[in-house]
Structure 1
Amino acid sequence: MTDRLTADLASGALAEALADIAEDAARVILPYWRSGVVAEAKADDSPVTQADREAEALILARLAELYPEVQAVAEEQVAAGEAPTSLGEWYWLIDPLDGTRGFVEGRESYTVNIALIHRDVPVAGVVTAPATQMTWRSGPTGGGAFRRRFGEAWQAIQVRERPASPIALLSHSITDDEAARLATRYGCGQWQGTDSSLKFCLIAEGRFDAYPRTGPTSEWDTAAGQAVLEAAGGRVMGEDGQRLRYGKPGYGNGPFVAMGG
């Protein structure tokens, strides 16, 4: 691995660069939002749009310019059968448009996700919400997490101490009864539904406390959000109670919970 990548990771310059790329991808996506864009069904029956494809192409090209030696695993690339057959110690995990169903329906909570994985751990990550023009990123190694509105200065964020009445964030894809059971399981008397990796970021900035997930997700859905949340003082644990890891067969996650303080 080049000295430049490791130096940029340690200084925070890498996450800054990822933020610029993610925001440029957001600018590609935004003209398609609430425009009547049509989704196609992929082999796994999940939706994809032209916005997904164009944003992914931009991200892959920009990353290849900056760090050509780092492999990339991106959602639409995998769906097309073009993912690397083997991975090195460092690689990107990319979801160019997380929450495509909500995007097509005109909801705001869709995101652009870019993460750097070292071995099986997300060591840098950026999540951008195009509709609200907000970006969250990990900082320098050990240097916390940050957010900004497009064009504005970065502000430090951190998880909050667990309050007396913690609030869970849950996927819109589950029933109200299931959501209530899941929230209660993690000590949360209240819950709110939202789409995409935005859930990790809202916990990272101290507005919510837990995001339990039992249904299937892919590694590119969670890696960037996990990097941001961990940098903000939170944690993401698999069913075994250990840190959620990456590079699993088929890039699939099992059940996990993301937690704040």
Structure 2
Amino acid sequence: MTAAPSPLDALSAGTLIDALAEIAEAAAAVIRPYWRNAVVADAKADDSPVTRADRDAEALILERLTAPWPDVPAVAEEASEAHGRPERAPELFWLVDPLDGTRGFVRGDEHFTVNIALIHGRRPVAGVVTAPALDVTWAGGPGGAVRRRAGGAWESIRVRPRPAVALALMSRGVKPEDAAKLAELHGCVEWRGEDSSLKFCRIAEGDCDVYPRTGPTSEWDTAAGQAVLEAAGGRVLGPEGAPLAYGKPGFMNGAFTAYGA
């Protein structure tokens, strides 16, 4: 009997990143017509918003992942919120956030993303992040971290050496006084707010230095960005100093900090 295809084989062959990037960019094309077009958001059980763009993009991603790798399960945001989060995590699975930063997307902001990550042994071993409004994709895996504009070639990216005046990134929902204290706690005299998983990518490409997160997030919010950042030489650590792991109860993260150099 022929063994079922595995994305780990594609990862080893160096073809997985391109395949995932094409899927994420196709999802971005689904999302783009809804942006700044009076999109209507519904409220989920946790009061977070969801739109038709989220649902349509997730449907495309799951279909495109299932076709080549039918035996690899996916934990995806909208399906999990609608039908319940899985009770246990397998050894190998996908984490999918079809539209991270929905609140900003509904407002017409640019900083929302499509996220696909492969988790193996509780670690994000490959991930892609696409920003539909910016037309940029970031990706990370064993070969390092890369970035490309739509239709362009991949270019390598790397975290920068920590500068004398380090810059922190914060979620835009953080109060300015709290953001300033967090930035100072991490040795930064400056900070700026930004939505979605773009924060991981900004650090990975050497634009910023640290992203502290004190509130909870779902694992699909962070996995792809963590894969990109770690491939670029950065780290994402929990409160005890261990790398952020996946397949936790409820697929939820506690506090963490993303670092560049």
Q: Percent identity?
A: 63
Aligned to 1:144: 144
Aligned to 1:134: 136
What are the ranges of 5 or more consecutive residues in structure 1 without an aligned counterpart? none
Q: Which amino acid aligns with 1:53?
A: R
d(CA) in 2 for partners of 1:218, 1:169: 19
Aligned to 1:24: 26
How far does residue 216 in structure 1 lie from its aligned partner after superposition?
1.4
Aligned to 2:69: 67
Q: Which amino acid aligns with 1:104?
A: V
3-state SS, counterpart of residue 57 of structure 1: helix
Kept in 2: contact 1:71–1:87 (CA 8 A): no
C-alpha change, 1:4 and 1:44, in structure 2 (3 Å) is: closer
Aligned to 2:183: 183
3-state SS, counterpart of residue 182 of structure 1: helix
Kept in 1: contact 2:43–2:50 (CA 8 A): yes
What are the ranges of 5 or more consecutive residues in structure 2 without an aligned counterpart? none
TM-score (norm 2): 0.97
How far does residue 12 in structure 1 lie from its aligned partner after superposition?
2.7
Q: Is 1:157–2:125 an aligned residue pair?
A: no
How far does residue 16 in structure 1 lie from its aligned partner after superposition?
1.0
Aligned to 2:17: 15
Q: Which amino acid aligns with 1:41?
A: A
Aligned to 1:255: 255
Aligned to 2:232: 232
3-state SS, counterpart of residue 11 of structure 2: helix
Q: CA RMSD in A?
A: 1.2
- CA displacement 1:203-244 (0-9 Å, x = unmatched): 000010000000111100000000000000000000111100
TM-score (norm 1): 0.97
Aligned to 1:169: 169
- CA displacement 1:1-37 (0-9 Å, x = unmatched): 8565222112331111000000000000000000010
How far does residue 100 in structure 1 lie from its aligned partner after superposition?
0.1
d(CA) in 1 for partners of 2:98, 2:119: 16
- CA displacement 1:33-73 (0-9 Å, x = unmatched): 00010100000110000000000000000000011110000
Kept in 2: contact 1:93–1:219 (CA 8 A): yes
How far does residue 104 in structure 1 lie from its aligned partner after superposition?
0.1
Range 2-11 or range 249-258, more displaced? 2-11
Q: How many residues align?
A: 259
